[in-house]
Amino acid sequence: MFAYNKSIRSRFLIQLLVASAALIFIFSSILYLFIQQSIYDDKREELMQVAKHVVAYESVQNVDESGALLGLTIEMVTHTNKGNTIDFYETLIGGKVFLTLVYPFSLDNNSYIKVSEEVTKTKKLLKKILNSIFIINILSFIIIIIYAITLSTMLIKPIKALTARLSDMNEHLIRPIKIEELPIEFLPLGETINHLIARLQNFVKYQKELFIGTAHELKTPLAVMKLKNQVTLIKKREPQAYIDAIKVNNKTIDEMNKIIAHILNIGRQEGAQLETPQEVDVIAYLREKGNDFKLLAESEGKELDMNFQPDMFMATLQTSLLNQIIQNFLQNALKFTPSEKIVLLQSDITDQGLCIQVIDEGVGVDESFDHFAPFKRSGNKGGVGLGLFLSKSAADALNAKITIKNRTDGISGAIATLTLGSSLSCALPESK
């Protein structure tokens, strides 16, 4: 029972065989009963014609000769309280089968015509027909079993091919499958697998870049610390020189701690991807987050404007991942926007879903390199270079799209965009 529930092929075979057997049995039964009833109806009509002929001539002697020629037995019988009814039945006498029709002759004296015909050969013929149908059913069922096994094998062949293809992959040989070779019913599955493979490729790529970048970022300050210590220890120095060397080392350690803290954030974010999604009003969340950063912008002499459309947009997602993206967008926008300039946080509905944008009036971005790779820095502002990497990872986990590009309206600055697909979300009507 356990194997049956686990195997789609077994369930398919059993269901197909049961349905086919039931269909064959029902069809064969109907066919046999139809043939039998047709023969009996013809026999009844023949006997009825003979009985009517007897009644028409009002004499049994007139049809004795014709009845004998037809192999019929005709006799007059008497029944009381039978009325004007016609009986038709089958009897077995001495190993022979007879069909008998009792037809009213004269109701005044309760006389009836009894016409009988031996149908032993007909019964044997019907038995042969039944046996033939039974044999045909067995052969048909065997053919259906062979067909079902062949069909099920053909249906699971693409699954086996996908399994074989995926089993040969590892983190170094991840390649998309060729969906054009799949049957049309398996195209959605192939596209989903390719989408997952693309995400795995990005994950492996960014993980490799993260490890290499981390090693490089930590190696440089360690080399500076070691060199500073070696220079300090070459000869005796004043106490202040040792203090200055320790201060430089402490500053370098603080920078390394920032890198480590961001790497820990990556681990926390991967844990957040496993959180249970919750239904939230994204517009209400954006409004709350915007109000928090509005105070920060005013303290730096900058302005944060907000424009949200629609009034409400419900989505099922992990809020910690959404917070990672929006917070990074706003932090970068305020960091690169000069004083007395404006940062705009806005949202709008598009064909792809809810489009969230943070538009600044900073120096813009260099679009020639990948801003979402780890340890990529833009401009002359300080930072570790992991913020957008974390944002891209969070967007991938939300099945959302994230981009960053320069403004094209003649004003210097960048536009960071997050698009929440409609597959995860559902827009509600705007309030009046």
Residue at 105 is within a domain: yes
| List of residues 6+ apart from 146 with CB closer than 8 A | none
pLDDT at residue 217, as a whole number: 65
In a domain, 19, yes or no: yes
pLDDT at 100: 93
Residue 32 confidence (pLDDT): 92
The tally of domains found in the chain comes to 3
> 427 in helix, strand or coil?
strand
Going 343 to 347 to 350 to 355, the CA torsion angle's sign is positive
Do residue 228 and residue 96 come from a single domain? no
Question: Which of 227, 252, 272 is the endpoint of a domain?
Answer: 272
Let me know if residue 148 belongs to a domain: no
**Neighbour order of strands in the sheet with 87-93:** 72-78, 111-118, 96-106, 87-93
- Condensed to tens digits (0 to 9), the pLDDT of residues 200-213 reads 777 777 677 767 76
Cα(315)–Cα(202) distance, integer angstroms: 25
Q: What is the pLDDT of residue 79?
A: 82
Give the position of tokens 């054009």.
180
pLDDT of residue 356: 95
Q: Write the CB contacts of 186 (distance below 8 Å, at least 6 apart in sequence).
A: 158, 159, 162
Say what the pLDDT of residue 72 is.
Answer: 83
pLDDT at 171: 61
Residues 92 and 232 in one domain: no
Mean pLDDT by 10 residues, the chain (432 residues): 60 85 91 93 90 75 51 83 84 90 85 90 92 92 89 81 75 74 79 81 72 70 78 80 82 76 64 69 92 88 93 87 88 90 93 92 82 63 66 83 91 92 53 44
3-state class of 103 per DSSP? Answer: strand
Q: How far apart are CA 115 and CA 74, in angstroms?
A: 5
**pTM to 2 decimal places:** 0.50
Output the pLDDT for position 321.
84
Which contacts of 100-103 are long-range, i.e. CB under 8 A and separated by 24 or more positions? 100/47, 101/44, 101/47, 101/48, 101/51, 102/77, 103/48, 103/51, 103/52, 103/54, 103/55
Instruction: Tell me what pLDDT residue 73 has.
Output: 85
Q: Which of 183, 151, 153 is nearest to 20 (CA)?
A: 151
Residue 6 shares a structural domain with residue 32: yes
**425-427 and 414-421 beta bridge pairing:** unpaired
Token pair 């305020």: residue: 334
- Same domain, residue pair 317 and 407: yes
Which of 254, 272, 290 delimits the end of a domain? 272
- For 382-407, what is each residue's pLDDT tens digit? 555 677 877 888 888 788 899 999 99
Query: Where in the sequence is the domain holding 235, given as residue range(s)?
Result: 193-272
pLDDT in tens, 143-197: 988 988 888 888 788 788 777 777 777 666 677 877 777 778 778 888 888 888 8
CATH code assigned at 309: 3.30.565.10
